[in-house]
Amino acid sequence: MSGDAPVQPRDGLRELTGYHSPQLDVAVRLNTNESPYPPPPGFVSAWLDALGGVPLNRYPDRAARDLRTALARHLGQPVERLFCANGSNEVLQTLLLTYGGAGRRAAVFEPTYALHSHIARITGTEVVVGERREDFTIDPSAAAQLVEDAQPSVVFACSPNNPTGTVEPSATIEALLGATAGLVVVDEAYGEFAGDTAMSLVGDDGRLVVARTYSKVWSMAALRLGFCVAPPAVVEELEKVVLPYHLAVPTQLAGLLALRFGGEMEARVELLVRERGRLVEALGAFESLTVYPSGANFVLVRVAGDAHGLWERLVERGVLVRDFSSWPRLEGCLRVTVGTSDENDAFVAALRGALQEVAA
């Protein structure tokens, strides 16, 4: 394929495969962990009104001061600890551009969010892989050993972990912090669904960074806004590395105005947590499924039998979930995003039909 291309990309990039999460046009899409609810209408009109008054010939505030100040207040953190970017993926990329790179290593614990190792490789950072336990938790002492041996500059933990839903106890994060001389980055893209956070462990002189996103919890995946809470010295370095004016005015305004609708956003989170409970209970009734505990807005199941065949039968019934069955360490696994109660009912009904068909 690329052998015919006139110019080759840098060594180390050729063997990368792009990030794909296939989209299909079906009625019930439960494959990308988006919120099934749009943001509150009041937010959308406040945002559109504010956009109307913006001088479009001027660059945005490079320091995103208003947004960072409001977020800091919302989180009970000093503003100097806030770094904002285009989705938390850009936060992760900026962290790796700053603290990773040639001759440096990043540690991940698989199976986990694929973009941690993917972005690491793109930035020339070597990836060191630790294994999770059978129940998908990180073994703190094995992890500490790996970190002591490999001396990574960045250690990733994801809590709740995507795609397994596993919530990591803070003792594990503290074990990682104790073992490494590098940064520990806790990706909390789903943190609000767990109610558990490592944010209180972030200190001005520490090495802990907590990354979050508006994409899932705040129903704003289209707007691309993420942030991290980090020691001020880290934030200063990130600001040097990230492109100037990377955060467009509509994004900054959206982040600022959404915070006024915190109550409505929290109600959505509570609704999804309740639906997750209902979904886990319904899934538990199927004998051929192993259901993993989840602190996120999705649930991972392991199927006894042909998981990809089951995924296809669900698609035939108009339901799209995420097929992880061909991924290492996730043999037989499918991940379903928590949708509206109607969508979850449709999924469970489709699953019942599909499993009966497989068994017949």
Question: Which residues bind to ligand PLP, rule: CB under 6 A?
Answer: 33, 87-89, 113, 158, 162, 187, 189, 213, 215, 221, 226
Q: How far is the CB of 162 from ligand PLP (least distance, A)?
A: 4
**Going by C-beta distance under 8 Å and a sequence separation of 6 or more, which residues neighbour residue 37?**
219, 268, 271, 340
> How near is the Cβ of 32 to ligand PLP at its closest, in Å?
8
What's the CA gap between 35 and 271, in Å, rounded?
A: 11
Alpha carbons 337 and 301: distance in angstroms, whole number: 11
Nearest-approach distance from CB 224 to ligand PLP, in angstroms: 6
CB 130 within 8 A of CB 146: yes
Q: Which is nearer to ligand PLP, 47 or 113 (CB)?
A: 113
Residue with tokens 């969010």: 113
Q: Which is nearer to ligand PLP, 85 or 348 (CB)?
A: 85
Torsion angle of C-alpha atoms 103, 116, 107, 238, degrees rounded to 10: 60
Q: How far is the CB of 149 from ligand PLP (least distance, A)?
A: 25
333 or 354: CB nearest ligand PLP: 333
Residue 277: enclosing H or E segment and its boundaries? helix 262-284
* Residue nearer to ligand PLP on the CB measure, 273 or 358: 273
Residue whose C-beta lies closest to ligand PLP: 87
Distances (CA, A) of 230 to 24, 194, 200, 341: 38, 20, 11, 37
Shortest Cβ 94–ligand PLP spacing (Å): 12
Token code pair at residue 339: 């949708």
* Of residues 187 and 343, the one with the C-beta less far from ligand PLP: 187
